[in-house]
Amino acid sequence: MKLFPTLRLAALVCGFAVAAHAQDLSSFEKRITTKVLPNGLTLIVCERPEAPVFSYFTIVDAGDANDPDGQSGLAHMFEHLAFKGTKDIGTTNYTAEKVALDKVEQTYAAYDEEYRKRVGRDEAKLKTLHAAFEVAQADAQKYVVPNQFTEIAEANGATGLNAQTSLDDTQYFWSMPSNRLQLWAYMESDRIANPVPREFYKERDVVMEERRMRTDSSPIGRMVEQFLATAYVAHPYHRPNVGWMSELSQISATEAAAFHQIYYVPSNIVIAVAGDVKAEEVMPVLEKYFGQIPTGPKPEEMSTVEPPQIAEKSVILKEQVQPLYLEGYHKPDYRDPDDAVYDAIQDIFSNGRTSRLYRSLVRDQQISAQAEGFSGFPGNKYPGLFAFFAVPNPGHTPTEMRAAIHKEIDKLKTTDVTDDELAMFKTRARADLLRGLGDNQGLAEQLAIYQMRYGDWRELFNQLKKIDAVSKADIRRVANKTFVDTNRTYAMVEFQPPNPGAVQQTQGGAQ
Amino acid sequence: MNRTSFHCTSSIPTSFSKVCHPERSAKGATSKDLLFARIAVTLGLAVLLFPQAGHAQQAQPWTQIPIPPLHPFHPQQPKRIELKNGLVILLEEDHELPFINGSIEIRGGSRDEPASKAGLVDLYSDAWRTSGTASKDGDTLDDLLEAKAAKVETGGDVDSTSVSWSCLKKDEDLVFGIAVDLLQHPDFKQEKLMLAKQQAAASIVRRNDDASGIAEREAAKLVYGPNSPYTREPELATIKAVTLDDLKQWHDKTIVPNNIIIGVEGDFDAAAMEKTLRDVFENLPRGAAWPKPAGDFSGPKPGVYVVDKTDVNQSNVNIVGLGTLRNNPDYFALSVMNEIFSGGFGSRLFQDVRTKQGLAYAVGGGYGASYDHPGMFRVIAGTKSATTVKATQSMLAEIGELKTKPFTEDERKRAKDQVLNSFIFNYDTKEKVLAAATRLEFYGYPANFLEKYRDGLEHVTTADLERVAKKYIDPSKVAVLVVGNQQEFGTPLTELGLGKPQAIDITIPGAPQQGMGAPGNDGGEQ
């Protein structure tokens, strides 16, 4: 997840001599306006008038970790739905379309009920029900103006239009010429308040293709899915955020609407705008549009906490691809006082050609083509993993990767890191923060994420205090606490030739 | 200079065909699903569309929202300096942040290396930086630079190599000094060449693990030919053949001032920077000009080609043909045609294959144009095995309809609005202004090419669209490539009516069948 590309954007309080540039917290205090609307939605406006453009970033504090049981992939599915238009956009006649869409849901529910029968499913009836569902979809389709929402945005100069869903949250973003700010506010607020689940079941097919691309047909995707399913027993981090195919393929628009009802409430959303905007001019415009979103209670927090792991776990995949190695250790979430210590370990282990894993595994032992350790996988909002990933060189095995990584971990536990290593981490964190400030989209993203996660965007800058406080002893302490055998899960991909029978059958080209 | 397609995902990539270099280092691990896959748009600019004015019957509140005039904006063009020895300098001041970023671009790239040593430029650009200079070896440079959160990197591409640097303003003297030292006093080391060969070998033996990577590579081979300088792959044997002397010779041959363009952007005074650069480069003697690219571009042999991959449940379908050059006077009309065909959510291809039929998540492509050789016409989609033929037929139908389905005035207007309303994003940052100017300089295009492009687009008519579609689109000349699991196709590829599918052999010469064994330490001449 992305809470900490932010590590690079860490903080700036006692940073460089940048007086001439005024890129410190107090300068941002002057350029940033925050407002919590009566309905609970938080708005951030950051003035950066370098060019007549702006970028926005909407973060909804709900991701696929919030998918109800049996509906994995729902948060991501809803994200796709958020581009299908509203009661005004994407329809020729919403009143008539609503009737038709209700009929789609009724016919789908009838079909689905029959489909899920374990005993006594009537195949003929199932066919009839499916035909009725098809007819209802065709009827609803008559009112659709396909892709009108995105077309309006793109015709008005939207660039980098996209959205993403992780297990932790859902994010929407694009950039536009600054004279389109009001148009954007209208569109974004309308789709948050009034999304319409049109073309839902075709979009579900699209998302199933996305799963085939990212997971089923990708060796690394398959490995990661099995790894997480093994590492987590109770917490929803064990599920793929695109969803299990069986569940994804049975999600209904009714379920998506229920998800929206619970999680797309203003108090669960932060929206940041950065660019050629004046807060005094745009804030009233934003209030007018975003203030209309109906209020709702802040969703209940999850009760599940992953229990401590009590034994090492593993998953071995035999694949017709070159070998890979991945291991992970449970760690606390981003609010933990030691969070910056994990960032330090990540930096010292993985950042560039001075990093320990590069120098040891790649440069000196020459057993890996790539080796890294990283904090917060698959997310940071809840306790994630500190993971290590290595790509063996030809002639070398995952087992060798594992041994070499453990040797480096042991060193970290028993010997202090050097002064230079620690200083390098802190210097790079400052510089990376500074580098990130010259980009509207990056700024909007960081401000929105920090506001959501800490309740105050200033934490983006204040992080540096925590980074500066990291000591050598902290690193040893955290390494000794975290990197223990019983807290470890690993995945190996080992080469296995394809089934020779299968190869023979298909070698002659298709018939 | 074609720096579009080299983003290695760090941490846990969802796929990779190229092993990442460590300097593109770890971000937090991501596990995210995007709304759609951004497919490299081969022809020009961002791709966008317009509301369908035609058929909405109910109120359209968004049409009532005022759009005030945009604040005037005239990005400052970089200062251009041409030294007597032919070296060109472009300087773009940017005082927002205390950083300086520079790049030294050098003509000559992998298309110019001998076929028997394919991979030479990759190895050169790796070992150049990791070896270091006569006074400081590469490891020492790493320590020195990283302690200052600075970078000096060398790179190699199809038509260029480069030395780039990035640092805080206060470190500019030191960091720029290292960049120049690398240029003038490299010290190629055998051990670093060996390390680069290992990494190259790791990439080579892994190149068939990712289906979309196979498709991209084999599609290009169909268009340009398997032995073309644009498509030939480094092999275990060709990287083994590269010697330390080859690297030195390549360096001496390419590092001449009249083959070099230097672009610097950031927090400096242009006059002072000009003096610094003149002092370093002005007295270098002129050398032989790098030859213009040549080559025979006849396009693919039409037909259906297949790579069978039994561990996937989705087919990568690529329909390919030969594209064009950007200096083609029809480039503007082709750009608009592209927008209509595959440019965004509202494009014909996206609307049909993804939105209407739900056949693919990733769908896109276009009639490509490169700066100094013909680009590729490439239309791609990823669809489940069982709908391989259906999706391919839809893609072929959309291609065919470019010639038969008249372009409407509405389509033309939407395409133009998309491009023109987002045009500012071509130059909304100083980095983009400099990058665009450097690119045009490198390929010898006029400095006002972007403005000409915008003007050109404004004047494209539906008659122009019809004319270029007739002239350039020829469904009888395309090749269809499918990388997928043939047993699951259901409908055979012969249903496409393009003849018997021809299997492409993607065996990696010299690679062991197992996941291990092989080159390990036999990177080359010990």
Average pLDDT over chain B reads 88
Which pLDDT score, from 0 to 100, does residue A17 have?
Answer: 33
Q: What is the pLDDT of residue A24?
A: 78
Query: pLDDT digit string (tens) for A13-58?
Result: 233 333 344 577 888 999 999 999 999 999 999 999 999 999 999 9
Q: What is the pLDDT of residue B520?
A: 38
- How does residue B225 score in pLDDT terms, banded at 50, 70 and 90? very high
Phi-psi region at A340: left, alpha or beta (left = phi > 0; alpha = psi -120 to 50): alpha
Cβ–Cβ contact B405 with A under 8 A: no
Q: Are A247 and A71 in contact (CB under 8 A)?
A: yes
User: Looking at CA atoms only, how far is residue A114 from chain B in angstroms?
Assistant: 24
- CATH homologous superfamily of A54-290 equals Metalloenzyme, LuxS/M16 peptidase-like (3.30.830.10)
pLDDT of residue B512: 78
Percent pLDDT > 70 in chain A is: 93
Q: What is the SS3 assignment for A483? A: coil
Cβ within 8 Å, pair B306-A395: no
8 Å CB contact between B377 and B338: no
Which region among A284-298, A497-511, B364-378, B485-499 has the lowest average model confidence (pLDDT)?
A497-511
- Among residues 22-61 of chain A, which lie with CB inside 8 Å of chain B? 23, 50-53
Instruction: Return the H-helix or E-strand segment holding A372.
Output: strand A368-377
CB–CB contact B50 A154 (8 Å): yes
**Model pLDDT for residues A131-171, shown as the tens digit of each residue:** 999 999 999 999 999 999 999 999 999 999 999 999 999 99
B153 Cα to chain A: minimum distance (Å)? 11
**A438 shares contact with chain B (CB less than 8 Å):** yes
Please report the pLDDT score of residue B57 as a whole number.
Answer: 62
pLDDT band for position B514 (cuts 50, 70, 90): low
pLDDT-derived band at B513, boundaries 50, 70, 90: low
Facing residues of B161 across strands? B106, B156
Residue with tokens 């074609």: B2
Query: How sure is the predictor about A9, in pLDDT bands with cuts at 50, 70 and 90?
Result: very low
ipTM: 0.91
Topology of domain A313-435+461-495, CATH: Cytochrome Bc1 Complex; Chain A, domain 1 (3.30.830)
CATH code assigned to B295-503:
3.30.830.10
Tell me what the mean pLDDT of segment A310-316 comes to. Answer: 98
pLDDT digits (tens, 9 = 90+) for B319-330: 999 999 999 999
Residues of B in contact with A378 (CB under 8 A): 29, 31
For residue B156, the cross-strand partners are: B161
Residue B229: is its pLDDT beyond 60?
yes
Average pLDDT over residues B400-421: 95
Gap between the Cα atoms of A57 and A296, Å rounded: 21
Does the structure show a pLDDT above 60 at A7? no
Query: Given the structure tokens 């300097």, which residue do they identify?
Result: B23
Mean pLDDT computed over A322-348: 98
> B 152-181 residues with CB below 8 A of A?
168, 170
Q: Does B392 touch chain A (CB under 8 A)?
A: no
Least confidently predicted of A16-25, A100-109, B245-254: A16-25
**Interchain contact, B30 vs A321, CB within 8 Å:** no
Please indicate if any CB of chain B lies within 8 Å of the CB of A503: yes
CATH 3.30.830.10 fits B98-255, yes or no: yes
Q: CB of B366 within 8 A of CB of B411?
A: no
Q: Kindly report the nearest CA distance between residue B129 and chain A, in angstroms.
A: 11
Of B336, B348, B327, B368, the C-alpha closest to B464 is B336
For B308, counting Cβ atoms within 10 Å of its Cβ (0-12 exposed, 13-18 middle, 19+ buried), the class is buried
Q: What is the mean pLDDT of chain A?
A: 93
CATH 3.30.830.10 residue spans of chain A = 54-290, 313-435+461-495
Domain limits, CATH 3.30.830.10, in chain B: 98-255, 295-503
Asked if the model's pLDDT at residue A402 lies above 70, the reply is yes
**Residue A255 clears pLDDT 80, i.e. is over it:** yes
Band of pLDDT at residue B27, cut at 50, 70 and 90: very low
Minimum mean pLDDT range among A17-26, B251-260, B462-471: A17-26
Q: What stretches of B230-350 adopt beta strand conformation (E)?
A: 260-266, 303-308, 314-322, 324-325
pLDDT at A25: 83
pLDDT for res A266: 98
Write the residue in B28, B201, B427 that is nearest to A7 by C-beta.
Answer: B28
pLDDT value of residue B524: 34
Interface test with B, best of A81, A225, A393, A432 (most B CBs within 10 A): A393
Chain A, residues 299-358, CB within 8 A of chain B, namely 319-323, 326, 346, 350-355, 358
Q: Is the pLDDT of residue B53 over 60?
A: no
Q: Checking DSSP bridges between strand A313-319 and strand A488-495, what pairing results, if any?
A: parallel
Cα gap B177→B514, rounded to integer Å: 46
Residue numbers in B near A208 (CB within 8 A):
384
Q: Chain A to chain B, count of Cβ pairs less than 8 Å apart?
A: 415
Say whether pLDDT at A222 is over 90: yes
Q: Kindly tell me if the per-residue pLDDT of B72 is higher than 70.
A: yes
Q: Which tokens is B272 given?
A: 């002072």
In A202-241, the residues whose Cβ lies within 8 Å of chain B are 202-210, 212-221, 224, 241
Two structure tokens written together for B82: 């041409």
Closest listed residue to residue A32, CA positions, set A507, A458, A464: A458
Q: What is the pLDDT of residue B34?
A: 66
**Which has more confidence, A95 or B12?**
A95
Sheet holding A313-319, edge to edge: A313-319, A488-495, A324-330, A385-392, A368-377
Q: Which of A389, A326, A329 is nearest to A362 (CA)?
A: A389
Burial class of residue B479 in the structure, from the number of CB atoms within 10 Å of its CB (0-12 exposed, 13-18 middle, 19+ buried): buried
Is A183 within 8 Å of B67 (Cβ atoms)?
yes
Angle between helices A339-350 and A472-482 (to 10 degrees): 90
pLDDT recorded at residue A500: 59
Chain A nearest C-alpha distance from B58 (Å): 6
CB nearest A164 (choices: B34, B147, B168): B34
Report the alpha-carbon distance of residue A257 to residue A277 in Å, rounded. 34
Q: Which DSSP symbol is given to B162?
A: E
The pLDDT of A80-96, averaged and rounded, is 97
Smallest Cβ–Cβ distance between A369 and the set B19, B51, B211 belongs to: B19
Of A157, A220, A351, the CB nearest to B26: A351
> pLDDT digit string (tens) for B102-153?
999 999 999 999 999 999 999 999 999 999 999 999 999 999 999 999 999 9
Indicate which of B307, B422, B507 best probes the interface with A, i.e. most A CBs within 10 Å of its own CB.
B422
- Put the strands of the sheet holding A32-36 in their side by side order: A32-36, A42-47, A269-275, A53-60, A170-177, A159-165, B33-34
pLDDT at B36: 60
